[in-house]
Chains A and B, each alone.
Chain A
Amino acid sequence: MYTNTVMDHFTNPRNVGEIENADGMGEVGNVKCGDIMRMYLKIEGDIIVDVKFKTFGCGSAVASSSISTELIKGKTIKEALALTNREVITALGGLPPVKVHCSVLAEQAIKAAILDYANKNNLVFEELAGFNPDELDHEH
């Protein structure tokens, strides 16, 4: 059902945990759907120097979270905002169709954390125009 890469990230998830006094923190998903993803960011200049996550969800949700942290660590905010769920899926070597929503959740969690950073620092990123984590339609 899952690729070796998904199982590797599920079994040995990278960057699990939280960052004290994170510069940005975002949480998406809901309990009813069975997936909640929370991302913490440490940002210096416009570089994401550290990222951690906590996830309640299936194997695919954990793996999507884990690989997303690897994909944006050391990247600029603009580069992180450009990450799409398709790239998450590709990096995982594929996801079953019914699990694609997990990769979407990872993309949204990153955006939510950056939005939090932007709000705290009075910054505006055009990539986040219209993005509101509280109004996301999270469906499988």
Chain B
Amino acid sequence: MTKKLYLDYSATTPVKKEVLDAMIPYFTEVFGNPSSIHKFGRDAKAIVASSREKIANLINSRADEVYFTGGGSESDNWAIKGVMRANKKKGNHIITTKIEHHAVLHTCDYLYREGYEITYLDVDEYGMISLEDLENAITDKTVLISIMFINNEVGTMEPIKEIGNIARKHGVIFHTDAVQALGNVKIDVDDFNIDLLSMSSHKIYGPKGIGALYIRKGIKIHNLIEGGAQEKKRRAGTENVAGIVGFAKAAEIAGENLDAHIEKLVYLRERLVKGIMDNIDYVKYNGHPTKRHPGNVNVCFEFIEGESLLLSLDLVGIAGSSGSACTSGSLDPSHVLLALGLTHEIAHGSLRLTIGDFTTEEDVDYVIKELQPIVHRLRIMSPLYDKVIKGGK
């Protein structure tokens, strides 16, 4: 196998060279602990402060509203647990959706076991929530709405600004998991009335193990991690200075190139979708046709199973992902695809290909060329396809 084609940018992205170059001195030269009073420490503290500003710029927030975390999952956990515990007097009700990332769903499950009430909103066939359902779900006990900006599997972009408006109107705190959105769409926490926003570095060509949570000034929130006085006593632990520098550099690059990045991804995405739909039958394109992540393609190939498809693609050098049960080790296929109303039968054949900065037209055309014979080979083996070609469907 000579080809190595990465189309799993929603899982993680490679660290850009400029990002790595920016990080390296902070392992060996400026290695001080930002909490130390000496020059080594002060230098490290200064770069953390300027890095915070760069990340704030990408979401149009104030720098002192950005708190560094260990990643997107920690940010989600902190936002939800922290807000609910700090606002017990107001109520115990959270509104979220059925298609959230497990970092949100499992956190809500955890709080449910502690006695909190959770409403899981349905989504339509495109993965979009109903604003009417959202507003109807709000009670006088509702403290928090947690709805993701962009779905990580099917790429659907939720109506964030409208959700923010509803939350503000009812005096409810609004958190959004923006891990897939950061660097891929314009984010403005003020314009969208977002109170808390989760971010992750490794989805925007930065290093893994570093993320951030935007917390609007005035929002009451308990700490998730106790210890030292870092992050204004809100998130203990010695700062991951090199990681923070890398995250900030990645954010800076993302902000500078956002429009061109989106334009390129949308072009390649549409080319890939057209190539798949024109060449292969019995395919379902999942997610919203237009309101979606610029680089996300999620399709289900009927009569075949997703893991077989992934393995076959890997053998020709193409790395994608699947929401099939067999890749997750559970009985059911992706909770997101089922929430969209797909049958188990179709949902098992899902494939997610996510395009990024290093994807080319040639890559997209290679995938289109390789996919068709792979799908055909697996279908020839499938007793479900057998029924179709014999007229049983």
Chain A interface residues (CB < 8 Å from chain B) = 2, 7, 10-11, 13, 16, 18, 27, 31-38, 54-62, 98-99, 139-140
Contacts and interface: CB of A to CB of B under 8 A. Distances in A.
Contacts of A56: 303-305, 381-385
Contacts of B311: 2, 7, 10, 59
B384 A58 contact: no
Contacts of A37: 383
Contacts, number: 73
Contact of A32 (B329, B344, B385): B344
A58 B324 contact: yes
Interface string B368-384: 00000000000011111
Given A10-B308, A34-B324, A59-B308, A54 B381 contact: yes
B18 interface: no
A36 B387 CA distance: 13
B315 A57 contact: no
B305 A57 contact: yes
B308 A27 contact: no
A54 B384 CA distance: 9
Contacts of A27: 383
A98 B329 contact: yes
Nearest to B386: A54
Interface of B: 303-305, 307-308, 311, 315, 324-327, 329-331, 333, 343-345, 348, 380-386
A58 B329 contact: no
From A13, A33, A99, A139, name the one whose CB has the most chain B CB atoms within 10 angstroms.
Answer: A33
A37 B82 CA distance: 49
A37 B384 CA distance: 10
A36 B381 CA distance: 11
Contacts of B343: 31
Given A11-B315, A34-B325, A56-B384, A62 B308 contact: yes
Given A27-B383, A31-B344, A58 B330 contact: no
30 contacts: A10-B308, A13-B381, A16-B380, A18-B386, A31-B343, A33-B325, A33-B331, A33-B344, A34-B305, A34-B325, A34-B333, A34-B344, A36-B383, A54-B386, A55-B382, A55-B383, A56-B305, A56-B384, A56-B385, A57-B326, A58-B308, A58-B324, A58-B327, A59-B308, A60-B326, A62-B308, A62-B381, A98-B329, A139-B331, A140-B331
A7 B308 CA distance: 11
B194 to A, nearest CB: 38
A36 B318 CA distance: 26
A58 to B, nearest CB: 4
Q: Closest 3 interchain pairs by CB?
A: A58-B326, A58-B307, A98-B329
Contacts of B382: 36, 54-56
Contacts of A18: 386
A58 B326 CA distance: 6
Contacts of B344: 31-34
Contacts of B303: 56
B12 to A, nearest CB: 18
A34 B348 contact: yes
Contact of B326 (A11, A34, A36): A34
Given A31-B345, A34-B333, A62-B308, A54 B326 contact: no
B373 to A, nearest CB: 13
Given A34-B344, A55-B382, 16 more contacts: A31-B343, A31-B345, A31-B384, A33-B325, A34-B348, A38-B386, A54-B383, A55-B383, A56-B384, A57-B308, A57-B326, A58-B326, A59-B311, A62-B308, A98-B329, A140-B330
Given A32-B344, A58-B324, A62-B308, A38 B383 contact: yes
A12 to B, nearest CB: 11
Contacts of B329: 98, 140
Nearest to B348: A34
A15 to B, nearest CB: 11
A60 B383 CA distance: 16
Contacts of A13: 381
B1 to A, nearest CB: 12
A38 B387 CA distance: 12
A31 B348 CA distance: 9
Contacts of B345: 31-32
A36 B384 contact: yes
A55 B381 CA distance: 6
B346 to A, nearest CB: 9
B381 A16 contact: yes
